[in-house]
Chains A and B, each alone.
Chain A
Amino acid sequence: MSVFAGPLSRLIDELKRLPGIGQKSAQRIAFHIERAAREDAERLSQAILEVKDKIRLCNLCNNLTEQDPCEYCSDPTRDQSVICVVETPYNVVGIERTREFHGLYHVLHGALSPLQGIGPEQLRLKNLMERLKSGSVKEIIVATNPNVEGEATAIYLSKLIKPLGVKVSRIAMGIPVGSELEFADEVTMLKAMEGRREI
């Protein structure tokens, strides 16, 4: 027999399935929802359903969007000649926060990871290649994660795209701002040295 009443127990079980939520956190959230006003609970359930009903992938860039094409692809003020390729939609948010990039995006929804059985076929590359055929794109910035999978994806993309005459660049890798050189590991330091620029 469950310690909690049926509906409460079911809510805790559902919350526990969310990433980063364990038994204790699930109980705390469930009790909060139970104590909250009915309107608050309705707003929450409505918001969850709306995400499921209205969010889809942009046909051009694969970003999560309510409208198709997404707000980035349909914005005429953005630079149509530069596309930044990222692994996940969260990465778009990270780059947008800089307020320095004004080009377009392309989301791969993953990176090459042979150990997980993810090869080129599993990445959303087809519509990227179609976008490049238009001839208006001059540069692709590969902003995949600076790890083994991200690096392999970047190299694979450059080999695929360069023959089309499009410039392919990779985001810099190296020492994080605010840290100190003495704590940098050898791989990071090596990448920082390789990616040095003239000032």
Chain B
Amino acid sequence: MPLRETEAIVLRTYRLGEADKIVSLFTRQVGRLRAAASGAQRPKSRYGGMLEPLTYIRLWLFERENRDLLRINSTELLESFFAMQGDYRVQLAAQYIAEAAERFLPEREVNERAFRLLLAVLRALKASREIDRPLLYYNYWLLRLAGFLPQLEQCCACGRALAGEEIFYGDETQGLVCSRCRTSRSRKISGEAFSLMEKMRRSPLDAWMASEPLAPAVREARRLFETWMEACAERKLVTLELLAAES
């Protein structure tokens, strides 16, 4: 029964029996996995607040052959995002990040870039208490790292270059289309939102957060990516619905 050490971000927890918890984790060295933490619900649990959703921890895990569920041996806190609960919209955004990570990152597949993305976006949310720019950045990179990002320079139907064209998107196309390939349900995307996406793709998160793009264009681009996220996930993301109600 080997003991593994890894860094991880807690995505969510489930109650298990009277005193235990199942913890869904995105680990740096193993990828996404689930592990049991015995006694984690007890008031004097040795885990304390370290297994709360979106906590960045180092943990030691026992792994048994032919068993999906690992067992947590001990944990050490690296960074807590508990203070983000002070703002309901920020909490919704943080939980959306966790839900999307669970949906898009396959189990037991190491993805160092996705791990760094998750951590960086959580830090940006914590520091800025703003949700639009961090979420837009997260959506774009998560789709890209998970291999779902559609072509953004060309029409996904006819392959025509989109620069200087009227651009549309819709639930049914999962990509951008030109005015000739649009359907009756396609929605137009503004030039500001399109050029904003161009800028974001070339910027590291710090530079992106330091820039001051037009808020309506950021929201428009965010909506576009969220439409693709749900289309790729092939189901509604529950946190997205609550986020939309708060916006």
- Chain A positions within 8 Å of B, measured between CB atoms, are 20, 112, 114-117, 119, 146-148, 151-152, 155-156, 159, 176, 178-179, 183-188, 190-191
A152–B92 alpha-carbon span in the complex (Å): 10
Contact with A along B83-110 (1 / 0, CB 8 A): 0011110011001101100000000000
Is A151 in contact with B82, judged by CB distance below 8 angstroms?
Answer: yes
Report if B133 contacts A (CB, 8 A): no
Chain A neighbourhood of B92, CB < 8 A: 114
Closest-by-CB residue of B relative to A188 is: B48
Q: How many residues of B contact A (CB 8 A)?
A: 33
Inter-subunit contact A119/B80 (CB<8 Å): no
Other than the known A115-B12, A148-B53, what 6 A-B pairs have Cβ atoms closer than 8 Å? A114-B95, A117-B238, A148-B54, A152-B88, A186-B77, A187-B50
| A122 nearest CB across to chain B (Å) | 10
* A173 nearest CB neighbor, chain B only: B49
CB-defined contacts of A191 to chain B, threshold 8 Å? 49
Q: Is the CB–CB distance between B17 and A115 below 8 Å?
A: no
Given A155-B88, A156-B88, A188-B49: A20 in contact with B18 (beta carbons within 8 A): yes
A148 close to B46 (CB less than 8 A): no
- Choose one: A117, A179, A187; the contact of B49 (CB below 8 Å): A187
A176 touches B55 (CB 8 A): no
Asked if A114 and B239 make an inter-chain contact with CB atoms under 8 angstroms apart, the answer reads: yes
Assembly CA distance A185 to B50 (angstroms): 7
In terms of DSSP, what is the predominant structure of the interface of chain A? helix
Chain A residues, Cβ within 8 Å of B91:
112, 114, 148, 152
The complex places the Cα of A151 from the Cα of B85 at a distance, in Å, of 6
Asked if A152 contacts B85 (CB within 8 A), the reply is yes
Q: CA–CA, A143 to B80, complex, Å?
A: 22
Please tell me which one of the listed residues B52, B80, B245 contacts residue A147 in the complex, with CB atoms under 8 A apart.
Answer: B52
Residue of A nearest to B245 (CB): A119
Given A187-B48, A187-B50, A187-B82, is A117 in contact with B242 using a C-beta cutoff of 8 Å?
Answer: yes
Which residue of A is nearest B18, CB measured?
Answer: A20
Bound complex: CA A186 to CA B44 (Å): 14
Of residues 23 through 74 on chain B, the ones whose CB sits less than 8 Å from some CB of chain A are 43-44, 46-50, 52-55
In contact, B52 and A148 (Cβ under 8 angstroms): yes
Name the contact of B242 in the complex, choosing from A119, A148, A190 (C-beta under 8 A). Answer: A119
A155, B49: Cβ atoms closer than 8 Å: no
| Residue B166 lies at the interface, judged by CB distance under 8 Å to chain A | no
Q: Separation in Å of the A90 CB from the closest CB of chain B?
A: 12
B95 in contact with A187 (CB, 8 Å): no
Chain B residues positioned under 8 Å from A159 (CB to CB): 88
Neighbour of A155 across the interface among B46, B77, B86, CB < 8 A:
B86
Instruction: Please tell me if the beta carbons of B50 and A155 are within 8 angstroms of each other in the complex.
Output: no
Asked if B241 CB lies within 8 Å of chain A CBs, one says: yes
- Of B43, B85, B95, chain A has the most CB atoms within 10 Å of the CB of B85
CB distance from A146 to the nearest CB of B (A): 8
Distance in Å from the Cβ of B38 to the closest Cβ of chain A? 15
- Residue numbers in A under 8 Å from B99 (CB-CB): 114-115
Scan B132-163; emit 1 where CB is below 8 A from any A CB, else 0.
Answer: 00000000000000000000000000000000
Query: In the complex, which residues of chain A have a beta carbon less than 8 angstroms from the beta carbon of B85?
Result: 148, 151-152, 155
